[in-house]
Amino acid sequence: MILKSIRLKNFRKFKDSYIEFPDGITGVVGLNGVGKSTLFEAVAWTLYGPVAARTATNQIKREGAAPSEPCQIELDFIFDDDIYHVVREMSGKNLQASGSATVNGKLAASGAETLSKFMQKTLGMDWKSFYTSIFAKQKELNTLSSMNPSERRQLILRMLGINAVDEIISEIRTDTKDKNTLVKKF
């Protein structure tokens, strides 16, 4: 996934913000409380809906926003050479959820739940996997520089949430070794 831009309206502390992501690697840095984590949460919320929010739905909309103003995020990105435009919104007093996705200009999903399912299927991961694949804590990054390659590998696998795959590979190797030993005996 290559993020291109995001517009946040009444999402948490963002009243109306637009960010265009440059090509290449982008680092998000800043003081505590300026919205770094909120920016990542906004991307996840747009793709996966309320399950990806850090708080209850009624705490997502910016405090002080009028009931008539929607909480809305528009996210543009490229995935598998396709151009995606995803919009998720909550509006009205009851924070009615809605959402849509277009792929290369054609409507691909409409409705909040349909959008969430579509994005999970398209990206091939749920919201937890998405978070662990894009969000590394500063302490974890600092620790990487002082580790040897084996230790670094284990931390990266844990950060990405795929250390279970490593354990399964180890079990397969052990099972293969045991089977080969058994075959040689026969």
pLDDT at 163 > cutoff 70: no
Q: What pLDDT shows up at residue 158?
A: 66
Segment 78-98 mean pLDDT: 93
4 or 125, higher pLDDT:
4
Check pLDDT > 80 for residue 95: yes
Size (the chain), residues: 186
Tokens of 144: 């990487």
Q: Please report which confidence band the pLDDT of residue 38 belongs to, taking 50, 70 and 90 as the band edges.
A: confident
Could you read off the pLDDT of 2-27 as tens digits, one per residue?
Answer: 999 999 999 999 999 999 999 887 77
Quick check: 123 and 79 in contact, CB under 8 A? Answer: yes
Written as six digits, the tokens of 24 are: 């290449």
